[in-house]
């Protein structure tokens, strides 16, 4: 049992929060005067999904659907192509975003790179969803975002409730019996959950395409995996300080996008290398860094701490299973000491898996394990780029040629394909209501609801500092030629400098907390801002890192 009365416990969690999520940058910006440039940027780039679609010349509709457990989801439909022509294909297309994302992720790059817009031009009726808790889906029939109960969900609930509600709504609105499903990252996870736990929805899926598929995460090399062991206590902290809400859209994100992520030096060092490449894999050639300001202005879009904890659990397990409450609570919820696994072998939907060979979040070994579990796999292939990372499947320079065009070909093929669902004889109109009366396990302040971990056995920041270079090297791809070796060595040095500075900063806060007085935190922030502008750049120069690249 965690001793929450220990005086430094909550502050240690805050220290970890700063380091693990790199939120220090947001605190710095919040203490920096807003500039006229941020207002200009907001008008230029920080548009909503609807505004982006309209700006690119497409019609767009807003639809709301209510899930069985009361969440109100906002969906965005592209009903006609840019020439204002109605859809010509047989089945609508349903696309789902990834973790901490929203429908904006699919369209922020514009029509020349956006898969949904290009599918609309190809004759498809395209629907973009937003899962519970993100920027566009923060409403409920009886709860508010200020209640713990609103944020009491994992990926399990999105698969069991959000997807079925959206699918039923789309099929009714389009007078269709089936639809195509395209998921990115978490959007693939929740589909596998729905198909496993709600098998009556399998006949409603014409085809499924998984971009950067995520189910098994055991072999992930992402830097976030090293922090997964802390997820239980961090989850508890967020239950207390934000009712369980995790990384919602901040009003300072637009300012971040217009400053750090716009200037070439800080964009490449902070936003690209530290945020994106260390988590998703390094691709300094094909990833479109010019999109970073737009990406930053929309993501993170928010989710629940419980959901991110669920993914952290999957990183520490060798299974694709439901949320782990700990032995005692698992018995109450599942009547088993361990959470049930999702039955992937029961999925009879035609599925295509498209992955990146340099995706360090969902690595090839784990995707291959997923492939071996799917009985109706149509295709399984990597993107034609040896350095393709997790987000290249949305935001690479050649996304149209290497991802969007193959996806369109698959949809055109399966749209007319004659196939019969070989599973149980479900009616296409069947709506399973067995989940309506499920008892939700709502956080009530009792830590026994969560797996117990002695926080004093967890690795400290001194461990990370001492092993920082080894951890960073593990995220780097194998170089194909000498130029690549030089580039990745430069990135490694940059990450070492930045993260070591952040570790030192976090430790200094812990030290100063012992003699804390009002205003100490903001003073320390101000001091570190000064360090960022002087010593930090000096550190970079001392490592002879030239990062002024295109």
Handedness of CA 131, 137, 140, 144 (dihedral sign): positive
Handedness of CA 105, 106, 108, 112 (dihedral sign): positive
Helix (H) or strand (E) holding 382: strand 377-382
Burial class (CB in 10 A: 0-12, 13-18, 19+), 82: middle
Contacting residues for 184 by C-beta, under 8 A, at least 6 apart: 95, 96, 97, 98, 101, 105, 106, 211, 212, 393, 394
CB atoms within 10 A of CB 298: 27
The residue count of the chain comes to 550
Q: Helices 9-21 and 482-513 sit at what angle, rounded to 10 degrees? A: 160
| Strand ranges in 92-235 using DSSP code E only, listed in sequence order | 93-96, 126-128, 139-140, 179-184, 205-211
Matching residue, tokens 């830590």: 447
Is 185 noted as a catalytic residue in this protein? yes
Cα separation, 139 vs 193, in Å, equals: 23
| Catalytic one of 91, 390, 396, 506 | 390
DSSP 308-362: HHHHHHHHTSSS-B-----HHHHHHHHSSSSPPBP-GGG--S-EEEEE-TT-SSS
| Catalytic one of 154, 185, 189, 220 | 185
The CA-CA-CA angle for residues 51, 55, 60, to 5°, reads 60
Give me the active site residues, please: 185, 390
């Amino acid at each position: 049992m965690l001793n929450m009365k220990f005086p430094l416990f909550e502050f240690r969690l805050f220290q970890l929060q700063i380091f693990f999520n790199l939120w220090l940058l947001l605190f710095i910006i919040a203490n920096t005067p807003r500039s006229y440039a941020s207002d200009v940027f907001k008008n230029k780039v920080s548009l909503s999904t609807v505004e982006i679609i309209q700006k690119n010349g497409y019609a767009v509709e807003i639809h709301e659907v209510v899930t069985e457990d009361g969440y109100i989801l906002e969906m965005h439909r592209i009903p006609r192509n840019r020439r204002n022509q109605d859809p010509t294909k047989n089945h609508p297309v349903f696309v789902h975003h990834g973790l901490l994302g929203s429908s904006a992720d699919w369209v922020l790059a514009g029509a020349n790179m956006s898969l949904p817009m290009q599918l609309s031009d190809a004759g498809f009726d395209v629907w973009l969803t937003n899962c519970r808790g993100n920027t566009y889906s923060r409403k409920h029939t009886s709860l508010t975002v200020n209640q713990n109960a609103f944020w009491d969900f994992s990926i399990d609930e999105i698969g069991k409730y959000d997807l079925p509600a959206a699918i039923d709504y789309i099929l009714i609105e389009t007078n269709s019996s089936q639809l195509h499903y395209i998921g990115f990252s978490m959007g693939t996870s929740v589909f596998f959950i729905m198909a496993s736990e709600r098998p009556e929805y399998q006949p409603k899926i014409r085809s499924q395409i998984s971009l950067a598929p995520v189910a098994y995460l055991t072999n992930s090399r992402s830097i976030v995996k090293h922090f997964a062991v802390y997820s239980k206590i961090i989850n508890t902290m967020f239950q207390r300080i934000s009712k369980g809400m995790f990384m919602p859209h901040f009003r300072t994100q637009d300012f971040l996008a217009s400053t750090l992520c716009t200037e070439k030096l800080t964009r490449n060092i902070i936003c690209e290398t530290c945020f994106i490449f260390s988590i998703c894999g390094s691709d300094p050639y094909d990833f479109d860094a010019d999109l970073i300001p737009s990406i930053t202005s929309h993501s993170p879009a928010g989710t629940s701490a419980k959901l991110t904890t669920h993914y952290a659990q999957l990183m520490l397990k060798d299974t694709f299973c439901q949320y782990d409450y700990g032995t005692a609570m698992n018995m109450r919820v599942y009547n088993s000491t361990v959470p049930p696994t999702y039955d992937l072998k029961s999925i009879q939907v035609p599925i295509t898996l498209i992955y990146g060979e340099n995706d360090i979040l969902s690595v090839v070994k784990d995707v291959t394990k997923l492939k071996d579990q799917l009985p109706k796999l149509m295709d399984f292939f990597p993107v034609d780029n040896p350095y393709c990372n997790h987000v290249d499947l949305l935001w690479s320079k050649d996304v149209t040629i290497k991802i969007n065009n193959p996806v369109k070909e698959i949809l055109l093929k399966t749209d007319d394909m004659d196939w019969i669902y070989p599973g149980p004889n479900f009616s296409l109109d069947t709506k399973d209501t067995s989940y309506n009366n499920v008892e939700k396990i709502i956080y009530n302040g009792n830590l026994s609801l969560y797996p117990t971990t002695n926080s004093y056995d967890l690795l400290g920041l001194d461990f990370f500092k001492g092993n920082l270079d080894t951890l960073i090297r593990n995220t780097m791809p194998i170089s194909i030629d000498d130029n690549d070796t030089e580039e990745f060595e430069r990135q490694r040095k940059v990450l070492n400098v930045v993260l070591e500075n952040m570790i030192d900063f976090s430790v200094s806060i812990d030290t100063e907390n012992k003699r804390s007085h009002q205003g100490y935190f903001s003073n320390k922030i101000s001091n570190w801002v000064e360090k960022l502008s002087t010593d930090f750049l000096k550190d970079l120069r001392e490592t002879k890192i030239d990062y002024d690249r295109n």
